[in-house]
Structure 1
């Protein structure tokens, strides 16, 4: 595993932003998915979350929103072409747009692990040519168990370069209320599957994204037991966090918890407002909002 200095340094002045949102989604311009069902998925999710927008925001619009809020954000697409039929937002296109907003946005990328050697080749290129520090995985959308050995050659590249693997866990609304859950199977996102990945790839930092309903205690156990596993708090308003999650965030896992909103479904300012009223200790709040993410991103 390379040392932290070998990673590409973020351009953002972290001393000036008030928080780092570790979990935001890059969305293509509206109307791009009229033939594949993605627009229906997005509008259904927007109703589920009560999101105020009519069309998902573009990357420049996302950057403008976060700049106005003085919050840095990790942003990524999700490649789930094989399982869903939704055309992916090409990683290179995302990187080109995010590069114009590098005062506030940090790019992660996404490659469906089912692409096998193609995934490995693309991952290595993105790391070596663009200094990418993290990869988004969505087991429910991509239709795989994280500990499936078919993904291990992909993980080997991430571990070799010390890159972060950010894995969706639990049920957060994607496909909720759609016929058959839009064909998405929740079983793939049980965080206990990440325990095997953490054992087999101890040099790959792992983020278990979201409060992992209905497997919250499993996620806490894995993060407590494995030094390379973190939890981001995106996809849920803090007013709905289970007490055990808050208790561990205030104590044993205080250096393992990360602020995330799940933009554009939840606006960061809305999440932060609820966070301000939740029962987190004053000394823990700065860790969750920025300091833990800075350390994980190699920005300290």
Structure 2
């Protein structure tokens, strides 16, 4: 298990991506090429995606723990699903550095709820990633997704929701069918009310709804924000101001690996206008509390 007393930081947002291959005809390679262009990072180019083992080695060399997850968006995108069990097993092989999360399409209802419980009880999964735009749902649609969210709440795990704009489908014809409206963080305000004891993370600065995301995290004690998907040099001024003040215990370091590397994120974070007393909270202490490793 991760020795949290020894790691220097906790990256709360990393992706386990299936490697591209020349035999795929489901649009996945085109999607990853578009992501690489959006983030100006060649990691998504064909054949260059890191494996989970590669990811573990990268983070181990930097003494940074990483929350890692796949995204179950097969229903909406047609992309092959990366098995939660496989990712969790690879995490178990690298449990000195990787923290296993999983992903279940909330439209799966009772079957999805069973999967949530099995992954937690048999594979030690500690949280679930949801991507409303990629999975095509409003987080506060009770009929569409609350059966799965109820299972997450009952199992006491963390839920992490993509919010705001996305690189998924950016610049592609019709945006690859991705609808941004699903990822307004204000929809998650309802989730925080209906599941007041479930720990919830809003992924990213939620642009163009940054202020909505900040409001939800400030108002609801069970809601946090991970700072992934953006270089800190581009954070909106109000986002940095809240991180330095009333939300300083709610903000989490997240890179969005492999789209954005921790090396790049941390370099820009060091140069961004964050208070010295806030930096260790963002890099590690807030995540420890969220994970239940400290009071």
- Which of the residues 215, 232, 242 maps onto 2:209? 215
- Which of the residues 32, 36, 48 maps onto 2:38? 48
SS in 1 for 2:125: coil
Give per-residue Cα distances to partners, 1:63-96, cap 9 Å, x unaligned: 1111111111000000011111111101111111
Q: Distance in 1 between matches of 2:77 and 2:141?
A: 19
- Which of the residues 47, 53, 73 maps onto 1:60? 53
Corresponding position of 1:249: 243
Q: How many residues align?
A: 290
| Contact residue 2 and residue 96 of structure 2 kept, 8 A | yes
Corresponding position of 2:20: 30
RMSD: 1.1
| Contact residue 89 and residue 123 of structure 2 kept, 8 A | no
Say if 1:127 and 1:143 are closer, same or farther in 2 by CA, change over 3 A. same
| Contact residue 69 and residue 269 of structure 1 kept, 8 A | no
SS in 2 for 1:74: strand
Q: Distance in 2 between matches of 1:172 and 1:16?
A: 33
Q: Distance in 1 between matches of 2:101 and 2:152?
A: 12
How far residue 216 of structure 1 moved from its aligned partner, in angstroms, is 0.3
Corresponding position of 2:10: 20
Q: 1:133-148 residue pairs with structure 2 within 5 A? A: 133-148=126-141
**Runs of 5+ in structure 1 lacking a partner?**
1-10
SS in 2 for 1:116: helix
- Which of the residues 145, 151, 157 maps onto 2:145? 151
How far residue 270 of structure 1 moved from its aligned partner, in angstroms, is 0.5
Corresponding position of 2:286: 292
SS in 1 for 2:42: coil
How far residue 110 of structure 1 moved from its aligned partner, in angstroms, is 0.2
Once superposed, which parts of structure 1, at least 4 consecutive aligned residues long, lie more than 4 Å away? none
Query: TM-score, length-normalised on structure 2?
Result: 0.96
How far residue 30 of structure 1 moved from its aligned partner, in angstroms, is 2.9
Give per-residue Cα distances to partners, 1:163-222, cap 9 Å, x unaligned: 111000001322111111111000000000000000000111000000100000000000
Q: Distance in 2 between matches of 1:30 and 1:17?
A: 31
How far residue 29 of structure 1 moved from its aligned partner, in angstroms, is 2.9
SS in 2 for 1:73: strand
Say if 1:216 and 1:280 are closer, same or farther in 2 by CA, change over 3 A. same
Q: Distance in 2 between matches of 1:213 and 1:61?
A: 30
Q: 1:72-91 residue pairs with structure 2 within 5 A? A: 72-91=65-84
Q: Distance in 1 between matches of 2:22 and 2:255?
A: 24
Say if 1:87 and 1:189 are closer, same or farther in 2 by CA, change over 3 A. same
**Runs of 5+ in structure 2 lacking a partner?**
none
Q: Distance in 1 between matches of 2:5 and 2:264?
A: 22
- Which of the residues 100, 115, 125 maps onto 1:122? 115
How far residue 117 of structure 1 moved from its aligned partner, in angstroms, is 1.3
Per chain length, whose mean CA-contact separation is higher, i.e. which structure has more relative contact order (CA < 8 Å, sep 6+)? 1
Corresponding position of 1:102: 95
Q: Distance in 2 between matches of 1:93 and 1:173?
A: 25
Is 1:161 the counterpart of 2:155? The answer is yes
